[in-house]
Amino acid sequence: MEKQDVRIIRKGEEDEMEIYGYKLCRWKLTLVGIGVILTGGFLVLLLYWMPEWCVKATCSSSSLKDCNVVLLRTTDEFKIWSRAKVRIQLVPGRKPFENMNFKENKAATNGHIIPADGLFEMNGTHFKSCSEDETVEVRYFTHHSLKYYWNDEIQNFDDLKGLEVGVFCSVVHTRHSKGINKKTQDYRRLFFGVNEIDVKVPSSFKLLVKEVLNPFYIFQLFSVILWSTEQYYYYSGAIVVMSAVSIVSSLYTIKKQYTTLHDMVAAHSVVKVSVCRDRDEVEAVLSTDLVPGDVIVIPANGIIMPCDAVLISGTCIVNESMLTGESVPVTKTNLPNPTRNPDGVENDAVYSPDEHKRHTLFCGTNVIQTRFYSGELVKAVVIRTGFSTSKGQLVRSILYPRPTDFKLYRDAYLFLLCLVLVAAVGFIYTIVNSILNKVPAGTIIVESLDIITITVPPALPAAMTAGIVYAQRRLKKIGIFCISPQRINICGQLNLVCFDKTGTLTEDGLDLWGVHIADGTSFLLPTDNVCTESLVKSQFVACMATCHSLTKIEGELSGDPLDLKMFEATGWILEEATEEETTLHNQMMPTVVRPPTQFLPKHQPATNQDMELYELTTRYEIGIVRQFPFSSALQRMVVVARILGEKKMEVYLKGAPEVVASLCKKETVPSDFSEVLEDYTRQGFRVIALAHRKLESKLSWHKVQSVSRDVLEKNLNFLGLVILQNKLKEETPAVLEELRKANIRTVMVTGDNMLTAISVARDCGMILPQDKVIVADAVPPKDGHVARINWQYADKPTSSDSFDINAEHVQINMEGMNSRNLQTEHYHFAMNGKSFSVITEHFLDLVPKLVLHGTVFARMAPDQKTQLVEELENVDYYVGMCGDGANDCSALKRAHSGISLSELEASVASPFTSKTPNISCVPNLIREGRAALITSFCVFKFMALYSIIQYVTVTLLYSILSNMGDFQFLFIDTAIILVVVFTMSLNPAWKELVSQKPPSGLISGPLMFSVLSQILICIAFQALAFIWVKQQLWYEVWTPDSDACNKSAAVNSNSSHLGNVTHDEHNIVNYENTTLFFISCFQYLIVAIVFSKGKPYRQPCYKNFLFGGSVLILYIFILFIMLYPVEGIDRFLQLVCVPYQWRITMLVIIIVNSAVSFFTETIFLDIILWKLVFSRDKQGDCRFTTTVTQQEAVDHWGSRCLSFLFRRRRKQKTYVRLAQELLVDPDWPPKPLTTTEAKNLHQENGSKVIAE
């Protein structure tokens, strides 16, 4: 058989999928139809649940080019199948996926041909075209709100892209700045569709059908029908009512979620916009009509963006809190228009929304106001519409979330499979026993199927959800909001948490500690005041006053907190340009800054004739001509400004000191720059460097608007350093100490300087005073040399409150250390983003070792933070990420548990959002996660025991051709099981974090032993009671005339309450039934209490008043009706009267059962076996030691035999195995003054160590 061709769509994306082509097959459809009739419709349900089976059962394999059905499968670990129907669209035009008019092509740097208009590009490949008078059949399918069109060139389906792929920045200005005509707009809309993010709220009927067709409810329906045939009408009715309540509740929740999302998306989704046509006409249209290539005018009073668009003129102030959770306004400038440099080479780049996000207005963000030059409009070119926009992608991630991968849920299915196997044993036993006893065939079928419905509890999913719902409510009470409830359980397994620094571990605000101005090749003395006459006209203060992205909103300065703090320190005044002011600056100054007059030198004019000249010279203002906003990737920002009256323009730059120094003339950088910088960063200060240069006079305003920042950012003069203090939040040290004591590892991931980050890590306790820090400085391959890592051992910081700099304090101590000493000490790795990139690219074998002990990751870009989270997860850590929601969005989504410290009530960037703006929410979330996880285990174990107990009871009764009664089932399932399940989940979390980690799955030694031991105990005592009752002297096969109570002298006052029963079709009323009913009822309560554990993860069960009260009431009630039978209750429950002596005997059996169960669970399992066999590794502890205590040695030898049985197949965590290997590795950690080189230039996936 020829292997089917497999193609990939959305390659490299989060939702990458394999695609297979199929054609409908008539003979297969016929066979399926016959099968549906023969199975009574069950085959339809099976094919509905299994898309892969459905397609393969009804279709034959086909090429993608000719198929009419596609089968899709995700390429991630979940391998989820889905199907879609291929449709045909008739489209006029010569080139259906390009512009109707052929234009000149331009070659891209990668060798692919890119259309000049850049439209309808699919991975750099074009589509077959046709003449304009033809009608083209376009094949496409829709999946998860995206359309995928057939591409002849790549012979595959591909999602349609607009201007965000393969378009040069110069092309955006030259080809797309004029707009498109109405005909082209209508033509493109045929492909891109209406520009709206349409979240359709399904009808209640549709939701009902989808909910009812869930396998869980189908199984319940099957059970109800089966029970009804056995005349269990009351019990069946109760299950129907409970299922109806569950369905209605679920429908209400789902409908509410859809409605909320629809309302959120629909708000401001349809607005009137002004569109520029190709003949300089401006036309008002609805935003739903927009297509890529349209040029829209951004109104001065702002707008909620209905699409993604790139600015081509003007400046916008935007609030992007909808996307990032950060409410600080962001300045968006126009996209640079590249021009040819003096060498004649065009300095052009392909436009990317990610790389050029400072020039891109994203859908859903709020443009607060615009800045424009006199007579010009603020224009933007539409690049993406609908679900392809940033907001559309966000909505898609909510509508179609990635499944949660957690061992608990996988183990739950395995456990259910075990229950099914147990049911199969009972099924076979029932059939064989019934045949031997010549039971009618109909009865055999019903009773054997009944065993299956008893073994697999229908209420299990609802019971498992209860604990998560209660935990979500508790989290909400403490200000933690959750948009992904299933992740609460995963929080209970977190053993590593990554923290952003600024705004997370430290305060949001920065305080200006001082400035250190450079004077040629040396630094002047530091000062903490720049508001002086001597500095007011200096380039240093001018740089502080101009190099920012601040703006005035409703009269108040607004912008980045760092920019705000630096500007306020100057005492200058910022004014938005008026028409009069722009006239003075040749109509080109959007913003003006000036110092207060009291800061300027005071010199009175000698004569009245000098007054005019005096006023001109004292009017000191600087106009900001152009801004290049701060870039996380470049770690700097730059502005072009002009001083009033000056001919030449000035360039002011600020950024990371190392980056700024590299852009400056060497002769202007002080010789002791590195030492001074290191001293400040070691003390935990945040340092910003400033630089400046004058531009050539030939550069006019118009040329400046099109010049690239690379031309400006060179040959700069170093001005000095701005030192800012970022204080730790008050709660930070205590929280990190709590996590450390709980053996939860903490990691700092920041965009700040590395030495500053190391200092903060020491100050907050992330790195203990006695711990060593190893700096990994990686160098990429260059000039034929392979990549290499230089290892340096950073000394502990010395605190200093003085401005005096002592070089001895900042030296890196590499003497007197060796790696063998470090193996008995704790050490941490620190590296910056550049080194991290080199290591992950050229030293793949070292990555796991470095992340195992890596604590400080500085100068990390947003994508590097995400990559670090992935690397930590690759070594089997459960990773949490806590950040402020701005640059951490991607990492927050990627981590097992992302916690955003945002002021918003709900953050779209992470599963959890805390209203408390500090990291105290992290231990709270982990505690609640542990409580929810243990609750899930408790509920699952209880439901499993409930099924097995009832299964054993029914199986024993089947052996005498008996069964339980309708109201007995009803009493057990409603009065006992439901009450217990929904109250045992109410235990709050334990008040502190402990170092002992909860199990991550059900298939683990402690849990399996707990369940199996309780199963054996329950079976033993039920079998004991079942056999023992038959050995009693008064026992006989029960008939309506039996009266065991009167045969015994124990109870003379009671008679058989069921003496008037003349016929019992199911043989329910008998002594065995009554005995097993009472024993099993108490067993349900016994295991409920035994499994409802408290410390160390949950509060003890006696503090759960509802659970304790419910169990106590049930105990009293069942004990009362057992010892003192009530005629009405006995008749209702179909119980018979037994002698008082046997009632006391049953009480003794119950007491002994309770004692054995409690001893096994609390003494034998929790103390003895847990200590000897199930003592788990200290997950999350970054301090691996080689010392073994005497008690550990005793435990080791005492547990070897048992641990072989229970841990033989257990897979060890990667990071634990790796840590154990490194402990005996004589070459690890690396020695000081050594270098590790990559193996070679072509295959750099290994390393070797050489001495320096």
Would you name the residues annotated as active-site residues? 500
Whether the CB-CB separation of 1213 and 848 falls below 8 Å is answered with no
What is the token pair recorded at 150? 């057939």
Q: Vertex 1166, ends 1164 and 1171: CA angle to 5°?
A: 90
Handedness of CA 194, 199, 204, 206 (dihedral sign): positive
Whether the CB-CB separation of 901 and 917 falls below 8 Å is answered with yes
Termini Cα distance of the chain: 60
Handedness of CA 805, 809, 815, 820 (dihedral sign): negative
Whether the CB-CB separation of 195 and 385 falls below 8 Å is answered with yes
Please give the torsion angle defined by the CA atoms of residues 815, 819, 822 and 826, in that order, rounded to the nearest 10 degrees: 110
Residue 560's contacts (CB-CB under 8 Å, 6 or more residues apart) are 328, 548, 549, 550, 630
Q: Cα separation of 1069 and 1075, whole Å?
A: 11
Whether the CB-CB separation of 971 and 720 falls below 8 Å is answered with no
What is the token pair recorded at 761? 């890590």
Amino acid, res. 964:
M
Whether the CB-CB separation of 284 and 303 falls below 8 Å is answered with no
Q: Cα separation of 666 and 661, whole Å?
A: 8
* Cis-peptide, bond into residue 92, ω within 30° of zero: no
Whether the CB-CB separation of 1186 and 823 falls below 8 Å is answered with yes
Residue 563's contacts (CB-CB under 8 Å, 6 or more residues apart) are 548, 549, 550
Paired sense of beta strands 315-319 and 366-371, if any: antiparallel
Query: Which has the closest alpha carbon to 94: 141, 56, 131?
Result: 131
Q: Vertex 667, ends 663 and 670: CA angle to 5°?
A: 90
Return the SS3 of 480.
Answer: strand
> In whole angstroms, what separates CA 942 from the centre of its chain?
31
Angle, in degrees to the nearest 10, between helices 1140-1158 and 1005-1030 = 160
Q: Cα separation of 329 and 367, whole Å?
A: 9
H helix or E strand, kind and range, residue 1234: strand 1234-1238
**Residue reference for tokens 């998560």:** 468
In order of 426, 1016, 1017, the CA distances from 1080 in angstroms are 18, 14, 12
Whether the CB-CB separation of 766 and 744 falls below 8 Å is answered with no
Q: Cα separation of 524 and 762, whole Å?
A: 30
Q: Cα separation of 753 and 89, whole Å?
A: 55
With 0-12 CB in 10 A as exposed, 13-18 as middle and 19+ as buried, what is 928? Answer: buried
What is the token pair recorded at 931? 């409580």
Whether the CB-CB separation of 282 and 249 falls below 8 Å is answered with no
Whether the CB-CB separation of 115 and 126 falls below 8 Å is answered with yes
Return the SS3 of 616.
Answer: helix
> In whole angstroms, what separates CA 149 from the centre of its chain?
30
Q: Cα separation of 865 and 885, whole Å?
A: 13
Q: Cα separation of 1233 and 128, whole Å?
A: 61
Please give the torsion angle defined by the CA atoms of residues 443, 444, 449 and 450, in that order, rounded to the nearest 10 degrees: 60
